[in-house]
Chain A
Amino acid sequence: MTLSFVAGSLLNGLLVGGVYSLMAIGLTLIFGVMKVVNFAHGSLIMLGMYTSYWAVILLRFDPYLAILVSLAVLFIIGACFQRFLINPILNAPEHNQLLLTLGVSLFMENLAVFLWSPDYRVLKTSYAEVNFYLGDISISLVRLLAFVSAMILAGILYLVLTRTDLGKAIRAASEEPKGALLMGINIRRLYMITFGIGAACAGVSGAAIAPFIPVYPYVGWLFVITAFVVVVLGGMGNILGAFVGGLIIGVADSVGAMFLPGAMKSIISFTIFIIILLLKPAGLFGRKNG
């Protein structure tokens, strides 16, 4: 194992980690604002991948232009999901919301099997095999582009949350929902928009990885647990924590891939997950314990 190989796989892990960050930001945003643990996040990622895949195959879009299609489609799906399914049971015990999103996830995944068959589909692009070199470290172009796309959306989201009235309202609702309601913020509409944004994050991260990860109906399972690991690592509801956590888990996964057989590479991140949940459930950057 040469040094450049190690450095290369750590760097590629970091690039994928950027996408994990975006997935986790979507999940943590939804949790932070409406305290819903969205188990269907993996299915939303899967839908984002398929949206981008079909936009490329049927409409002949460029894969990176298709990201915008995924963003729009998933925003609408997410907003409808919140409006018609989550909203009616928002005051039910929290495990009911978890179970509801599990049911939606089962439905969406197996609907995808029904509609598009369980086959693995590969989104072929002209630059899929392009690697470029930093010294003798090889970096894959599609992973770099995925990282950049994820970072751009995360950056825009950060600006929206900090600089706009909508962002202020979202942050207010996440800190003090009753207070926000009393200040005249339309909480119902805000919840819909927030869920839409969270789903759009999932959609964009799915579309961004579609050029190098095969698309199939159960692909979401590869990521949903990882996204939970990242969210818990960064602290439930903490967006900055999710960002940093994503990079950490991306690197941890690539370290795992170097030492463990393929099927077991995620054991490291799962172990981190369990340790964090047990020792510091508020996350690495959590303000208070428990």
Chain B
Amino acid sequence: MAEPRGHLKRKLGLSTWIAVVCVLAALHALPWVFPSILHIMIMIFLFSLMGQGWNVLGGYAGQFSFGHSLFFGVGAYVSSLLFVRLGLTPWIGIFVSCGAGILLGLFVGFLSFRYGLKGPFFALIMLAFAEIFHMTATGWSAVGGALGVLIPLKGNAPGLMQFLRKEPFYFLTLWMMVGSLYLVWRLESTRLGLYFLATREDHDAAEALGVNTFRAQMAAMAISAGLTSIGGTIYAQYLLYIDPDSTFGVVNSVEIMLRPIIGGPGTILGPLLGSVVLTPLSEITRLAFQSYSGVYLMIYGLILVAVIMFLPDGLIGFARRVVKKFQKGAA
């Protein structure tokens, strides 16, 4: 049994290490070279982080969620309310948010996975939970109602996760995103990561081989909810304003899940790649067609249809197939 375990040990070749270091160095120099695209970069990293959250549950464990805005919204609301009402710094709030998201995820997961809900049923139950929170946040004035929560700007206050410049957010989101990549990269080689894949590929067969699929799905849900909630907190601190539509709204669920689906569900780099493609697209079309704010969603719809019909394993899967073809052609 020595060989398969050795196979699981994650090691990168020297050339990959050099490439990773070069890319990271370039990304650290970027704020000084192209300061004007910092906002887009922050959005790319932020949605890639949350997309990675979705990817753990949807891509690896095979449970497609249509309601990840639930965790996004909880992450944004918990830290913001703690800050506005109790003065608690978002640096602590982000952990509380993350914990709240995980607990909520485990609750929804417990209800769903215990009864073996999957496929469209799970997707819809997530959507229903997100909508219930959406409606509650809109109708309950104690959490700001439809007007939402305005986070008072205290000037440049690093202790309160508030910065007047964009660079600190850039590095924060960059390292959070890199952290999520590392987490999933490590996860792939653990027993738990393999349980995720087994559950996704064949639930009953995995169960028959002694995999506790319920626990695997719960673990995937917890990681997924935690990552997405963290993204929600950073989003709230970055924009300093949240309302029910911009957090719990269905559009956010779509934004989060489209990135890994287009990039390549169940791959480490999928969410980042999807985010690199989609985020500039949405930001640029929003600037270009200001009066038609929905044009970017129309393009999202077209891309989603095209990807499902022609590239069901996403851009990464497509790239892999192209590489294979070339290797075959060379040989």
Q: Name A residues whose Cβ lies closer than 8 Å to a Cβ of B.
A: 37, 85, 88-89, 92, 94-96, 98-100, 102-111, 113-114, 118, 217, 221, 225, 228-229, 232, 260-264, 266-267, 270-271, 273-274, 277-279, 281, 290
Contact = CB atoms under 8 A, between A and B. Distances in A.
Given A114-B292, A262-B139, A264-B135, A274 B128 contact: yes
Contact of A232 (B124, B129, B297, B301): B124
A23 B105 CA distance: 31
Contacts of B301: 102-108, 110
B120 interface: yes
Interface stretch (B44-52, B108-116, B220-228): B108-116
A88 B302 CA distance: 16
B117 A281 contact: yes
Which of B123, B140, B301 gathers most chain A CB within 10 Å?
A: B301
Contact of A225 (B131, B138, B302, B303): B131
Given A94-B120, A98-B64, A225-B128, A85 B139 contact: no
A277 B121 contact: yes
Contacts, number: 130
Contacts of B30: none
B132 interface: yes
A262 B119 CA distance: 32
B300 interface: yes
B136 interface: yes
Interface in B153-186: none
Contact of A277 (B125, B139, B250): B125
Q: Is the interface of A mostly helix, strand, loop or mixed?
A: helix
A113 B294 contact: yes
A264 B146 CA distance: 11
B261 A99 contact: yes
Contact of B294 (A114, A267, A279): A114
By Cβ-Cβ distance, the 8 closest A-B pairs, closest first, are A107-B301, A103-B304, A106-B301, A110-B294, A110-B298, A264-B139, A263-B139, A103-B305
Given A114-B292, A277-B115, A278-B112, 7 more contacts: A89-B312, A103-B303, A107-B302, A113-B294, A274-B132, A277-B117, A279-B115
A110 B298 CA distance: 5
B125 A100 contact: no
B331 interface: no
26 contacts: A85-B309, A88-B309, A89-B308, A95-B119, A96-B308, A98-B66, A99-B308, A100-B304, A103-B300, A104-B305, A106-B254, A106-B297, A107-B301, A108-B301, A110-B295, A113-B292, A114-B294, A263-B135, A264-B139, A266-B131, A267-B135, A274-B128, A277-B124, A278-B115, A281-B117, A281-B121
Contact of A221 (B124, B135, B250): B250
Contact of B115 (A110, A270, A273, A281): A281
Contact of B309 (A89, A107, A232, A281): A89
B298 A111 contact: yes
A98 B120 contact: yes
Contact of B304 (A102, A266, A273): A102
A128 B267 CA distance: 55
B138 A264 contact: yes
B123 A270 contact: no
Contacts of A264: 135-136, 138-140
